């Protein structure tokens, strides 16, 4: 529709040729000032009138007023490829204008200004004074400004500033002529033709904008390069069978930012792959450091009608210091059990592998707030890093039993009496949470790529030969233990449902 309007306006806009020069003419005859805005003209404190007493020529003229102290109004042209000549216009002082000062400026194009392309380095073209005098009341006068030979071929705009003095007075402007070719593209936020486009007008050009048609979103910012894998043991604080397949899922997190760098959405893609437990476990993510009040709403959760969780009106779990989502409260909501006596889902090769239901969870961020009473900055990318990512397992519908990655803090709902019992070596120090007594071994793993997981009851050390050396050294040795390098994996112990 916008392109159709653009073509219509091009027919109405005047292009005239005088000798070798081409002129862009604005005579107001389109009849609607909004159509001129659509054609990339800008006006400040101007109207378009068809009252015959104030029309210089034709059916319409532009009109502004004055004041005793001086009333300012502006006209700014579209982008023009300039030719040598004069900027010319008809100016008519009405109703006893004391004085009207007209200033003209040339605005070069600056490709680095992604908001509107205008350079801050204006060039002053001159000044014109209109004073009707007692004998020249309401008489139309010419105002003109030179476009020098040096400006020929330059891409820019003409900015006209009018300051009108006099109470209850009016100034008419008509027949604006500018030497050069019209060079704006209304379908690209009025950027010059052939220059970088910004269709949504957010200040980010289309070829750099991941959302070129949405002014509220601009960039994708992923926490991982491709899907990553989370794996959990659910018998914490006991060690369990250490096969890390009680819940296996892949995830991707995309922090969508606007043109100003504020996070406006967090997109969380989750693909449940296996659940080797006999328990009905759930899965949540805390975004440490993000207040629940900064979240507008959360969509895409898989929650049962009889859930053990309580939720805020925005979809976050109730009662937490930090923003916490419960992606699903029961694994059967996202993975179908194969039946036939299988223990768990997708962990026994004797049973057919089930396809998991991929979830897209969207967490919408409230915008920054600045008022006379309060001020809240927007959430930045630095507020949502892997340090703030705190995923956890909720064990067998018991909200107080949470299993987190090693060194991560529990939520406010955890049963604190479980720490330091059985095989857990949590001491209360922040980095000590969820570390086992045996060489600090963990109950949850986060791997930055999608990897196979263990067959039921097979210890992770049977499938990943370098795992124990990595864990026992606190991650110093074999940080790539999960890679498919020579001698790193034992394929017979691994499954890879997707």
Q: How far apart are CA 68 and CA 464, in angstroms?
A: 85
pLDDT at 112: 84
366/295 same-domain check: yes
Place of tokens 């048609």: 213
All residues at 6 or more sequence positions from 259 whose CB lies less than 8 Å from its CB, including other chains: 202, 203, 204, 215, 218
**216 occurs within a structural domain:** no
145/244 same-domain check: no
**211 occurs within a structural domain:** no
Kind and range of the H or E run holding 33:
helix 33-38
Domain containing 23 equals 2-206
Distance of CA 164 to the CA centre of its chain: 43
pLDDT at 2: 38
419/488 same-domain check: yes
Number of domains in the chain: 2
pTM of the model: 0.65
Q: 205 and 197 in contact (C-beta within 8 Å)?
A: yes
pLDDT at 6: 43
Average per-residue pLDDT for the chain: 89
**218 occurs within a structural domain:** no
The Cα angle at residue 404 between residues 403 and 407, in degrees rounded to 5: 135
Q: How far apart are CA 353 and CA 227, in angstroms?
A: 20
Residue 128: both structure tokens together: 């014109």
Residue 156: both structure tokens together: 């820019």
- Each residue's pLDDT tens digit, 315-364: 999 999 999 999 999 999 999 999 888 889 999 999 999 988 899 999 99
Answer yes or no: is pLDDT of 171 > 90: yes
Portion of the chain with pLDDT greater than 90, in percent: 70
All residues at 6 or more sequence positions from 143 whose CB lies less than 8 Å from its CB, including other chains: 88, 89, 91, 102, 128, 130
**185 occurs within a structural domain:** yes
270/189 same-domain check: no
**214 occurs within a structural domain:** no
266/191 same-domain check: no
Closest to 351 in 3D by CA, of 455, 244, 272: 455
**313 occurs within a structural domain:** yes
**Domain with 8 in it: what CATH number?**
2.60.120.260
270/134 same-domain check: no
239/160 same-domain check: no
Tell me: cis bond preceding 237? Omega within 30 of 0 counts.
yes
Point out the domain boundary residue: 138, 172, 206. 206
The Cα angle at residue 274 between residues 273 and 280, in degrees rounded to 5: 125
202/235 same-domain check: no
**What region, left, alpha or beta, does residue 457 occupy, with left being phi > 0 and alpha being psi -120 to 50 degrees?**
left
């Amino acid at each position: 529709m916008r392109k159709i309007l653009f073509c219509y306006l091009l027919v109405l806009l005047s292009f005239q040729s005088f000798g070798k020069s081409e002129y862009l003419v604005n005579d107001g005859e389109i009849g609607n000032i909004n159509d001129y805005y659509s054609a990339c003209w800008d006006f400040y404190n101007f109207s378009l009138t068809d009252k015959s007493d104030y029309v210089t020529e034709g059916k319409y003229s532009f009109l502004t007023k004055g004041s005793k102290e001086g009333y300012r109004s502006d006209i700014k042209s579209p982008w023009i490829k300039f030719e040598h000549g004069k900027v010319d216009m008809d100016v008519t002082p009405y109703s006893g204008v004391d004085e009207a000062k007209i200033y003209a400026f040339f605005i070069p194009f600056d490709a680095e200004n992604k908001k509107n392309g205008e350079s801050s380095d204006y060039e002053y073209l001159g000044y014109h004074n209109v004073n009707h005098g007692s004998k020249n009341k309401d008489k139309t006068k010419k105002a003109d400004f030179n476009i020098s030979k040096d400006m020929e071929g330059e891409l820019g705009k003409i900015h006209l500033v009018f300051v009108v003095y006099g109470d209850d007075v009016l100034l008419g402007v008509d027949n604006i002529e500018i030497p050069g070719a019209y060079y704006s593209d209304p379908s690209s936020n009025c950027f010059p033709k052939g220059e970088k486009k910004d269709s949504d007008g957010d200040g980010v050009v289309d070829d750099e904008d991941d959302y070129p048609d949405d002014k509220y979103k601009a960039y994708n910012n992923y926490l991982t390069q491709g899907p990553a894998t989370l794996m959990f043991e659910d018998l914490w604080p006991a060690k369990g069978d250490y096969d890390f397949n009680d819940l296996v899922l892949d995830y991707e997190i995309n922090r969508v930012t606007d043109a100003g760098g504020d996070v406006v959405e967090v997109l969380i893609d989750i693909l449940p792959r296996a659940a080797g437990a006999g328990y009905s476990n759930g899965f949540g993510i805390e975004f440490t450091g993000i207040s629940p009040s900064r979240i507008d709403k959360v969509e895409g959760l898989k929650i049962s009608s009889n859930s053990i969780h309580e939720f805020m009106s925005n979809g976050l779990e109730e009662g937490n210091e930090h923003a916490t989502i419960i992606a699903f409260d029961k694994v059967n909501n996202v993975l179908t059990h194969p039946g036939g006596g299988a223990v768990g889902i997708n962990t026994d090769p004797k049973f057919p592998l089930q396809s998991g239901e991929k979830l897209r969870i969207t967490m919408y961020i409230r915008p920054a707030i600045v008022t006379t009473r309060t001020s809240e900055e927007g959430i930045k990318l630095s507020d949502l890093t892997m340090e703030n990512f705190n995923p956890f397992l909720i064990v067998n519908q018991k909200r107080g039993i949470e299993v987190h990655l090693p060194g991560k803090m529990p939520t406010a709902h955890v049963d604190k009496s479980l720490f330091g019992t059985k095989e857990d070596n949590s001491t209360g120090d922040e980095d000590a949470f969820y570390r086992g007594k045996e060489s600090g071994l963990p109950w949850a793993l986060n791997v930055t790529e999608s990897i196979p997981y263990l067959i039921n009851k097979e210890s992770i050390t049977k499938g990943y030969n370098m795992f124990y050396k990595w864990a026992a050294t606190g991650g110093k040795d074999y940080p790539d233990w999960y890679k498919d390098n020579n001698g790193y994996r034992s394929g017979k112990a691994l499954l890879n449902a997707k």
